[in-house]
């Protein structure tokens, strides 16, 4: 069935006339494509802004009854947050923005419309913290924790969001309200599991399912004790601001390495010694962009950074006492010496000292989009630290065919590896950029992705996570114990229209 005036009236009766629209200029704002998309997103038929879980459930039921598509959105940062076909009802969840912090039991209950900028400073005031995705202050913590990927830059001394998800309230594709974990037995939000089968894996799994198994209307996330000073001092005004973590218990050091195996050895040794709060092999192209204020500035600095920090290992030490910091520093410098790392020049290292917000809630990463090219991530997955480093090494087998011919930006080492849980495993991401004004740009990007997948298939690498099902998911699914077959069965069990 298609969208009609009658459906519009039914939806308006749920949320009230004030919270539904089909004005074209508002629809246009919610279909504007991001630069990397070759074609425009289809327009949604209307936008509804529910305020409660019950309203979300009613909207889903109306869509089901009239056989309409629907989707949830908070920020619209990724393509799956846009309509994918005609007859789509777009649910903007910005009104659902309540949060509650339980300091004693260390968890926060959040609705989808709560943003990092709202939650993180409050949590930190209580000496607590959580791993915020690099998406920036406007992103939704609930989406990161319950819906999408979730890898983040502080997961070395912490972990991925899938480990921190507690009770969840969601609306299933059948329009039913489901409460998981300790909520099922009316015992509160504190636990992801309760008697009976655990649903945590189904709600988000490892890499998230982008809302395909239901709309999450509320969830609780576990909070960690905050590492480093609770106060972060700001100087200047955004975007030319600096952020400092003052005091004797926080230091950041950056080293450069000549080859990825040495980086791997350093990460494993640091994890074994259980020192440092954050460890990352960072990517140098976004780093240079974050360090500069314009495209011209970037091109002035790029050759220097490319030569000086092709493989930066960033280490943040955050301790409870100055003595503990000195102890960790001694071990760190021993490990770096043994693994042949060298400290980078002070002018570059100082950038980190002056931008310590990078370790919690990233206010600068969006500036990488400024250069004007199109970005795309590949090799976005997780496995052991050694596996991720092997994948990093294999990139040189195919990337030069693309960088040397100008098909993608010439930054062959532009991949990051971030260990998790003290290097028990790690995530990776190769971020590449191409010229979106080049008529062959999209084709080049697709060829590059295909070359990357071919290397994964050749070596049986877990170079990208498996998601979805059907013929396109089969190749990857086979590398993950036939995950695509399980995914199909789960989707069919949950979704009457699958
Ligand atoms: C510059 C940049 C950096 C990023 N860095 C990271 C990173 O470090 N780590 C990371 O994991 N991701 C990252 N992302 C990807 C992504 O934006 C994040 O996962 C983000 O947290 C998504 O939140 P959002 O509010 O933007 O959601 P949206 O973009 O609005 O939605 C994302 C997806 O979730 C679905 N969705 C939204 N709300 C709900 C809901 N309540 N229930 C079910 N489904 C829902 C949408 O339909 C869509 O499929 C980055 C993106 C950008 C642009």
Output the domain CATH number for residue 60.
3.30.43.10
Model confidence over 358-416: pLDDT tens digits?
776 666 677 777 777 788 889 999 999 999 999 999 999 999 999 999 999 999 999 99
Residue 445 is part of a domain; what is its CATH number? 3.40.462.10
Predicted local distance difference test score (pLDDT) of residue 372? 73
Residue 104 is part of a domain; what is its CATH number? 3.30.465.10
On whether both 471 and 453 belong to a single domain, the answer is no
Q: Is residue 385 part of a domain?
A: yes
The ligand 1 atom nearest the CA atom of 210: 49
On whether both 178 and 71 belong to a single domain, the answer is no
Answer whether 466's CB lies under 8 Å from 473's CB: yes
Q: What is the distance between the alpha carbons of residues 14 and 54, in angstroms, rounded to a whole number?
A: 9
Nearest alpha carbon to residue 77 among 17, 140, 26, 23: 140
SS3 459: helix
In this structure, the residue with its CA closest to atom 21 of ligand 1 is: 144
Centre of ligand 1 from the C-alpha of residue 83, in Å: 15
On whether both 153 and 107 belong to a single domain, the answer is yes
On whether both 276 and 186 belong to a single domain, the answer is no
Q: Is 11 left (phi over 0), alpha (psi -120 to 50) or beta?
A: alpha
In this structure, the residue with its CA closest to atom 51 of ligand 1 is: 135
Predicted local distance difference test score (pLDDT) of residue 238? 80
SS3 375: strand
Q: Lowest-confidence range among 63-72, 236-245, 260-269, 299-308?
A: 236-245
On whether both 454 and 473 belong to a single domain, the answer is no
Please tell me the total count of domains within the chain: 4
Predicted local distance difference test score (pLDDT) of residue 362? 62
Concatenate the DSSP letters of all residues of 57-125 into one string.
HHHHHHHHHTT-EEEEESS--SGGGS--SSSEEEEE-TT---EEEETTTTEEEE-TT--HHHHHHHHHH
Q: Lowest-confidence range among 6-15, 62-71, 106-115, 365-374?
A: 365-374
Q: Is residue 151 part of a domain?
A: yes
Domain finish residue from 225, 259, 280:
225
Model confidence over 427-446: pLDDT tens digits?
999 999 988 888 898 899 99
Model confidence over 158-210: pLDDT tens digits?
999 889 999 999 999 999 999 998 998 889 999 988 877 778 888 888 888 88
Q: What is the average pLDDT across 64-78?
A: 94
On whether both 377 and 448 belong to a single domain, the answer is yes
Predicted local distance difference test score (pLDDT) of residue 82? 94
Centre of ligand 1 from the C-alpha of residue 444, in Å: 26
Answer whether 432's CB lies under 8 Å from 409's CB: yes
Q: Is residue 236 part of a domain?
A: no
Concatenate the DSSP letters of all residues of 255-315 into one string.
EE-SSHHHHHHHHHHHHHHT--SEEEE--HHHHHHHH-SSHHHHHHHHHHHHHH-SSEEEE
Distance from chain centroid for Cα 216? 17
> Is the predicted pLDDT of residue 298 greater than 90, yes or no?
yes
Centre of ligand 1 from the C-alpha of residue 143, in Å: 6
> Which domain covers residue 488, as residue numbers?
466-498
Q: 34: which residues sit within 8 A by CB, 6+ positions away? A: 79
Predicted local distance difference test score (pLDDT) of residue 358? 77
Q: What is the distance between the alpha carbons of residues 496 and 498, in angstroms, rounded to a whole number?
A: 6
On whether both 175 and 262 belong to a single domain, the answer is no
On whether both 215 and 282 belong to a single domain, the answer is no
Q: Is residue 85 part of a domain?
A: yes
Q: Provide φ and ψ at 382, rounded to 5°.
A: -150, 150
Q: Is residue 234 part of a domain?
A: no
366 lines ligand 1 (CB under 6 A): yes
On whether both 435 and 287 belong to a single domain, the answer is yes
Centre of ligand 1 from the C-alpha of residue 126, in Å: 26
Q: Is residue 230 part of a domain?
A: no
HSE value, Cβ hemisphere, 13 Å, CA-based, for 349: 15
Centre of ligand 1 from the C-alpha of residue 78, in Å: 6
On whether both 183 and 297 belong to a single domain, the answer is no
141 lines ligand 1 (CB under 6 A): no
148 lines ligand 1 (CB under 6 A): yes
Mutate to test the pocket of ligand 1, among 133, 358, 495 (most ligand atoms within 8 A of CB): 133
Predicted local distance difference test score (pLDDT) of residue 171? 97
Domain finish residue from 183, 198, 225:
225
Q: Is residue 210 part of a domain?
A: yes
Q: Is residue 202 part of a domain?
A: yes
139 lines ligand 1 (CB under 6 A): yes
Q: What is the distance between the alpha carbons of residues 37 and 145, in angstroms, rounded to a whole number?
A: 25
In this structure, the residue with its CA closest to atom 37 of ligand 1 is: 73
C-beta atoms surrounding 45 within 10 Å: 22
On whether both 22 and 128 belong to a single domain, the answer is no
On whether both 177 and 251 belong to a single domain, the answer is no
Predicted local distance difference test score (pLDDT) of residue 360? 64
SS3 322: helix
Q: What is the average pLDDT across 457-482?
A: 87
Q: Lowest-confidence range among 37-41, 112-116, 312-316, 459-463?
A: 37-41
102 lines ligand 1 (CB under 6 A): no
pTM equals 0.94
Domain finish residue from 92, 108, 134:
92
Q: What is the average pLDDT across 346-366?
A: 82
Predicted local distance difference test score (pLDDT) of residue 335? 98
């Amino acid at each position: 069935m298609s969208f009609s005036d009658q459906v519009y009236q039914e939806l308006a009766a749920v949320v009230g006339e004030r919270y539904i629209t089909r004005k074209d200029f508002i629809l246009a704002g919610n279909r504007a494509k991001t630069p990397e998309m070759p074609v425009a997103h289809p327009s949604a038929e209307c936008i509804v802004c529910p305020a409660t879980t019950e309203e979300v459930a009613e909207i889903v039921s109306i869509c089901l009854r009239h056989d309409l598509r629907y989707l949830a959105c908070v920020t619209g940062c990724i393509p799956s947050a846009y309509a994918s076909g005609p007859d789509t009802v777009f649910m903007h969840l910005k009104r659902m923005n309540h949060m509650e912090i339980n300091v004693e039991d260390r968890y926060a209950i959040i609705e989808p419309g709560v943003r990092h900028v709202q939650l993180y400073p409050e949590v930190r005031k209580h000496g607590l913290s959580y791993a915020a995705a690099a998406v920036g202050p406007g992103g939704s913590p609930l989406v990161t924790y319950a819906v999408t990927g979730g890898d983040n830059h502080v997961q070395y001394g912490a972990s991925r969001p899938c480990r921190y998800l507690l009770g969840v309230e969601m609306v299933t594709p059948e329009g039913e309200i489901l409460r998981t974990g300790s909520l099922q037995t009316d015992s509160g939000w504190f636990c992801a599991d309760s008697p009976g089968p655990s649903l945590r894996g189904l709600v988000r799994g490892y890499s998230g399912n982008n809302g395909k198994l239901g709309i999450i209307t509320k969830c609780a996330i576990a909070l960690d004790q905050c590492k480093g000073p609770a106060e972060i001092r700001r100087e200047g005004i955004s975007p030319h601001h600096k952020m400092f973590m003052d005091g004797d218990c926080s230091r950041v050091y950056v080293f450069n390495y000549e080859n990825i195996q040495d980086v791997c050895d350093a990460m494993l040794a640091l994890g074994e010694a259980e020192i440092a709060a954050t460890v990352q092999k960072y990517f140098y192209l976004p780093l240079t962009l974050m360090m500069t204020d314009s495209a011209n500035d970037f091109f002035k600095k790029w050759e220097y950074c490319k030569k000086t920090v092709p493989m930066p290992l960033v280490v943040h030490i955050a301790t409870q006492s100055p003595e503990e910091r000195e102890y960790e520093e001694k071990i760190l410098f021993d490990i770096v010496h043994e693994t042949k790392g060298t400290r980078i020049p002070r002018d570059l290292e100082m950038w980190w000292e002056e931008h310590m917000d990078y370790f919690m809630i990233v206010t600068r990463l969006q500036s990488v989009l400024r250069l004007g090219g199109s970005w795309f991530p590949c090799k976005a997955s997780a496995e052991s630290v050694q596996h991720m480093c092997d994948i990093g090494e294999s990139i040189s087998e195919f990337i030069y065919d693309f960088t040397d011919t100008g098909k993608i930006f010439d930054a062959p080492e532009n991949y990051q590896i971030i260990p998790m849980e003290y290097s028990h495993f790690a995530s990776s991401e190769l971020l590449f950029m191409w010229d979106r004004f080049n008529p062959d740009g999209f084709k080049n990007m697709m060829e590059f992705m295909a070359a990357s997948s071919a290397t994964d298939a050749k070596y049986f690498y877990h170079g990208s996570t498996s998601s979805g099902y059907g013929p396109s998911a089969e190749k990857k699914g086979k590398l993950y114990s036939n995950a695509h077959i399980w995914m199909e069965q789960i989707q069919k069990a949950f979704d009457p229209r699958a």
